[in-house]
Structure 1
Amino acid sequence: MKPLKSNLTFFFIPHHHIGGAERVHIEIIKSLKRKPIVIFDRSDGSVLSEEFQKNAYCFFATNRRRKIIVTYLIQISSYFLSFTLFGCNSSFFYQILSGIKGSAKVIDLTHAFSFPEVGMEILSLNYIHLIDKRVVINNKTLEDFRLLYERNNIDHFYLDRFKVIPNGIKISEFSSDKVHSRFNNFTIGYVGRNSTEKRPEVFFEILHQIDRNIKAKVIGDNFNSFKVKYKEVKYFEGCNNRKIIRKEFSEISLLIIPSSREGFPLVIMEAMELGIPVISTNVGSVFEHIFDNYNGYVSNDNSEIGFVKFASEKILQLSSNKELYNKLSFNAREHAVKNFCINIFKDKYRSLFYD
């Protein structure tokens, strides 16, 4: 029997915390015509954000029993209905694919490779014949996949299934007065999770190296391990309200990205949209959007010692040169307006799901 057409879309996402990847997932969901069913396989529903609750039907497959139920229902449904499966960084998503018997459209998204660890990009190799479209957010990750396929003797035919869709953000109103007030109250900022690849400890080491007259703010999830030594830092943690986070973010003068790996951090886009220059390690496609002495600085040395030295020098330079700081700020805003429009992002995802 030919499966009946349906409007069902299943999303497989590991987490729903306040990270950049999760905010991208929310925007993809909001671009769809109808609410999808979102299955989280690592996070429970204790702090589910309002945006996920409003825009999706959420289910938490966080134990073996629930995973069995989800697997059974989707595989049985595939005999009678055609639907779309979308997964990002979810091993559970790939495990389900082999049991799909009907006409399902399968899409996955990779934000970045998991160097040096083995990540989902390796696990996915066993399922590429079952994936109709593979989305990456930049050409750097596309090239990483090309090399991975080559090393594993995978036919070049499968490279045709890739589509590059850069992330996008909402472009809001902008006041030049904010730039001037940021310089007068110079504050360096870290925005992100307290995780190994984000290297927040490097940010704190930079703070240790520079003049104590420069203030610091950290926005993220849990930085208790740093609070005893760095009491003067303003910590803003555990908030899922985007308006409040934006207000806190807008008070930062300079965003520091010390990560050891990234795709293209959403916080860089958000900083630029606010007119905030960025100092970053050279990870992912950062080099495609940050240009030295134009809208920020990119370090060619990603080692902890090298980046601390590089960032410290640039911070001291910018905090003492208002003309240079203003130039970088206004250029950052202009670059965001020209390159990060959310409408283009949503149009491309609608085309991906419905064409």
Structure 2
Amino acid sequence: MEKNVLYTKVKPIMEKLVQYSEKPLVITGKFAGSFFASYFRSKLFFFFPYYHIGGAEKVHVKITSCLKEYSPIVFFANKSKSSALKEQFMQSAKIFDIGYLNNPLLIYFWAGVLSTVVNYNKNCVVFGCNNILFYKLIPYLKPDIRCIDLIHAFGGGIENVSLTYVNRLDKRVVINSQTLKDIKKQYSLNDISEKMNDRVFLIENCVQIPERIIRKNNGSTLRILYVGRGSEEKRVHLIGKISRICHQKNMPVEFVLVGDVKNSIPEQDRIYCNFLGEIVDEKRLSEVYNSSDILLLVSSSEGFPLVIMEAMAYGLVTISTDVGGISEHVHNGYNGFLVKDDSEDLIIKNTCDIISELASNKTLRDKISTEAYEYAKMNFNCKDFCMKYRKLIYGK
């Protein structure tokens, strides 16, 4: 409590300090950047937040890989929790991590440094996602430099930060139709010209699709999987409660959780869960998907999670709260199940009811599994994904 009070008092002071320091920090940054700008030669610069494990980070790796022929340079603006995906980024680009040096006081210094670096490269492209530094950099870029951003989901706050820079963004990418609608609504509410809508492009994410799905051979036990973070909007504590109730009702289930989520589960519910921790190795993660039957998500907000795409590609039956853009691809009772984003008690009850039905009806499980796989094969392939990003950035 004391920490929160202190933060509340200090925050406005810090904001004023940053405001008054902007110009001198940018000038200092430009001076510093001038000494080594010539060492950063590229036609494509990415500004991503992290290289730790996460759905958004996997998408960023894929985008970088699609465009590796242009020798991109990637700057990581925030401090990563681990180096899980660092090597994968390095396979497609030169990378520079400034996250451990970046903070609110220095953000304008880095805007000065990096604008000088980017401006040294004529007619290049700057592509950013999910970090404030990218947007603070934009006003200091030369007019011939094209700026593109990617919005994974609406409601996280970054869409409000980006609003100031809409007129300078040549193109914007969203990953689902719901976010596209949200952006257009935001523009309308803020009196931004309808012409700006033409700069927003829908490019859905992709995953590698196995040649075939493997029917699970685990007896009568259903393996229910969660993959992701333990952050607040994921509501992982509900999965712990669902696991406990399913076991108390003697359902033939096993709950498996991938990610740093153990502390997000109430202690009394942990005995009903099998925690695998973070899995970086794609082969190992593939084995986990192949040995699972159901993917369970109970988030309060989402864009369209990459984990659902991965699960469908392996023929898992998805059970998810109906939030964000999930219903665009998960069709209730056809290739997965949607639970109304209601009270936590109702989410738990409705999810347990679906699990009970699936546990007692193998024919239904197999039907949904097949439809999920076929849908993923048709809609989530990476060939189209790469083609769209190349066309977006270079028109070819």
CA-CA distance at 1:137 after TM superposition: 0.7
| CA offsets 1:74-102 (integer angstroms, 9 cap, x no match) | 33541552211101111100000000124
Alpha-carbon distance change, 21 to 182 in structure 1, aligned in 2, over 3 angstroms = farther
- C-alpha distance in structure 1 between counterparts of 2:230 and 2:216, whole Å: 30
Partner of residue 146, structure 2: 105
Decide whether aligned partners of structure 1 residues 85 and 127 sit closer, same or farther in structure 2, where only a CA change above 3 A counts.
same
Contact 1:60 1:66 in 2 (8 A): no
SS in 2 for 1:334: helix
Q: Shift of residue 164 of structure 1?
A: 0.4
> Residue type matched to 1:309 in 2?
K
SS of residue matched to 1:42: coil
Paired residue for 2:129? 88
CA distance in 2, matches of 1:42, 1:149: 28
Number of residues paired by the alignment? 345
* Equivalent residue runs for 1:328-339 within 5 Å: 328-339=368-379
Structure with the greater relative contact order (CA < 8 A, sep ≥ 6): 1 or 2? 1
Q: Matches of 2:121 and 2:271 in 1, distance apart?
A: 60
- Residue pair 2:216, 2:291 contacting (<8 A) in 1 also: no
Structure-2 separation of matches of 1:183 and 1:353: 49
Contact 2:300 2:341 in 1 (8 A): no
TM-score, structure 2 length as denominator? 0.82
Aligned twin of 1:235 = 275
1:52 matched to which residue of 2? 89
> Residues 183 and 166 from structure 1, CA distance in 2 versus in 1: closer, same or farther, beyond 3 angstroms?
farther
Instruction: Choose the corresponding residue for 1:202, options 238, 246, 269.
Output: 238
Alpha-carbon contact 1:61-1:70 (below 8 Å) kept: no
Equivalence map 1:130-169=2 (5 Å): 130-169=168-207
Which string of whole-angstrom CA distances, capped at 9 and with x for unpartnered residues, describes residues 40-95 of structure 1? 11124852522112222111122246873563243354155221110111110000
**Structure 2: segments with no counterpart, 5+ residues:** 1-40
- 1:84-134 deviations in Å (ceiling 9; x for gaps): 1101111100000000124111100001112xx6x0111111101110000
SS in 2 for 1:126: helix
User: Aligned in 2, Cα 1:274/1:67: closer, same or farther, shift over 3 Å?
Assistant: farther
Match of 2:217 in 1: 181
Task: Verify: 1:20 aligned to 2:55, yes or no.
Answer: yes
Whether 1:350 aligns to 2:390 is yes
Distance 1:330 1:183 in 2: 19
Structure 1 position 306, deviation (Å): 1.9
1:21 deviates by 0.7
Task: For structure 1, list consecutive stretches of 5 or more residues without a partner in the other structure.
Answer: 1-5
The range that moved more, 70-79 or 13-22, is 70-79
Moved more, 223-232 or 22-31: 223-232
Match of 1:310 among 304, 329, 350: 350
Counterpart CA distance in 1 for 2:254 and 2:80 is: 36
Q: Does 1:74 align with 2:111?
A: no
> C-alpha root-mean-square deviation of aligned residues, in Å?
2.0
After the TM superposition, which parts of structure 1 deviate over 6 Å for at least 4 consecutive aligned residues? none
Question: Distance between the aligned counterparts of 1:279 and 1:354, measured in 2?
Answer: 38
Q: Secondary structure at the match of 1:236?
A: strand
Whole-Å Cα distance in 1 between the matches of residues 181 and 198 of structure 2?
Answer: 13
In structure 2, the partner of 1:221 is 260
Percent sequence identity is 36
**Could you say what secondary structure the match of 1:82 adopts?**
coil
- Report if the CA contact (8 A) 1:282-1:302 is conserved: no
Using the alignment, how far apart are the partners of 1:183 and 1:262 within structure 2?
33
**Structure 1 counterpart of 2:164, which letter?**
N
- Out of 226, 229, 241, the position equivalent to 1:193 is 229
Code of the residue aligned with 1:167 in structure 2: it is N
CA contact under 8 A between 1:78 and 1:103: conserved in structure 2? no
